[in-house]
Every structure is written in structure tokens, then in C-alpha cells.
């Protein structure tokens, strides 16, 4: 009986950990699929995220447009839409530049960069799009992404990943 109890307990603990990070896992899988779309897909996406964030910050009407949202949900959606629009054109342009200069990424760099892109987007969701005001993330996610002092590290992680994983 003890072995079955231990197995059940381990399975429940594993499921609990996995369910806490389902959003992060889902984003990582999405970005892995994007990375298979073209040779430089994930690299282009990461660089486009940085360009889009810069555009989001300096666009003179961002605050006014986001303020039109009457609820925190609408404000988060509007913020994300502005970010996504700012990501599309840079992604297409950067993808044209990047695909000619790199070889095919193996599975590990592809997955690693996809995971780092997902963490970058989660950090933006917490600190820029204020998604935590409309959705209660599990405590392990809050521990990783909510502290303000961690934002810089999640922001820098994809760049470090590009430096270390792309040759």
C-alpha cells in the first residue's frame, strides 16, 4: 500500500507543478512551433519582442489608448494588441534578414530560445500589461515573475540565450 500511496502522491505533485506552469508551457510550445516555421523564426521573434517593447514605450499615444479601456481586462487586452501590432512588422523584416545568416537550429537551442521567449512574454504580462490584476496566477508563477527586481533578468534572459545558443 505504501508504494501505491507514494506513486499517487508523486503523480498528484507532478500534476500540481505542471498545472502551475501550463501557461508557460503552452507559450513555449507555441514558440517552438513558430521556430520550425522558418530557420530564423524564433530569433526573429525574440528580436521583434524587443523592438515592439521599445515601440510600446515610446509610442506617444500608448497611455491614451490603453486608458480607453474601462476595466483592467480591457486595458490588458489593449496593451497586448498594441504590443502585438508593434511586433508584426519588425518580425517580418527581421525574419528576412536573419534567415540568410544562420544554419538550422537543433532541438535544444530551439526549445531553450522558445522557453526564454515565453518567460520574456510572461514578464511583460506581469509588469507591462498588468495581467496579474485580472488573473490570479499560481503562487509559483508569482514567485518567479511578480517581483520587480526580477523583471530585468527575465528581460535580459532571451538576449543571453541568443548569445549562447545561436552560432
pLDDT digits (tens, 9 = 90+) for 33-62: 888 877 678 888 999 999 999 999 999 999
Residue 2 lies in a domain: no
- pLDDT below 70 — which residues of the chain? 1-20, 39, 99-104
Q: Which domain holds residue 58?
A: 22-165
- How far is the C-alpha of 78 from the C-alpha of 67, rounded, in Å? 9
Smallest CA-to-CA distance from 140 within 28, 22, 32 is with: 22
What Cα–Cα distance (Å) separates residue 87 from each residue in 51, 68, 80, 92, 98? 7, 22, 10, 9, 16
- How far is the C-alpha of 106 from the C-alpha of 63, rounded, in Å? 41
| pTM assigned to the model | 0.82
Domain total in the chain:
1
pLDDT at 12: 45
Give the 3-state secondary structure of residue 6. Answer: helix
Residue 3 lies in a domain: no
Residue 15 lies in a domain: no
Amino acid at each position: 500500500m505504501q508504494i501505491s500511496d507514494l506513486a499517487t502522491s508523486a503523480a498528484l505533485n507532478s500534476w500540481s507543478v505542471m498545472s502551475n506552469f501550463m501557461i508557460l508551457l503552452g507559450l513555449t510550445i507555441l514558440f517552438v512551433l513558430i521556430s520550425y516555421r522558418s530557420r530564423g523564426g524564433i530569433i526573429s521573434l525574440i528580436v521583434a519582442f524587443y523592438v515592439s517593447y521599445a515601440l510600446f514605450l515610446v509610442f506617444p499615444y500608448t497611455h491614451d489608448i490603453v486608458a480607453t479601456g474601462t476595466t483592467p481586462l480591457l486595458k490588458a487586452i489593449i496593451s497586448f494588441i498594441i504590443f502585438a501590432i508593434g511586433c508584426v512588422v519588425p518580425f517580418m523584416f527581421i525574419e528576412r534578414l536573419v534567415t540568410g545568416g544562420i544554419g538550422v537550429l537543433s532541438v535544444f537551442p530551439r526549445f531553450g530560445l522558445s522557453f526564454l521567449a515565453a518567460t520574456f512574454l510572461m514578464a511583460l504580462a506581469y509588469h507591462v500589461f498588468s495581467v496579474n490584476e485580472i488573473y490570479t496566477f499560481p503562487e509559483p508563477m508569482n514567485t518567479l515573475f511578480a517581483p520587480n527586481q526580477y523583471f530585468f533578468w527575465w528581460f535580459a534572459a532571451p538576449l543571453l540565450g541568443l548569445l549562447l545558443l545561436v552560432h
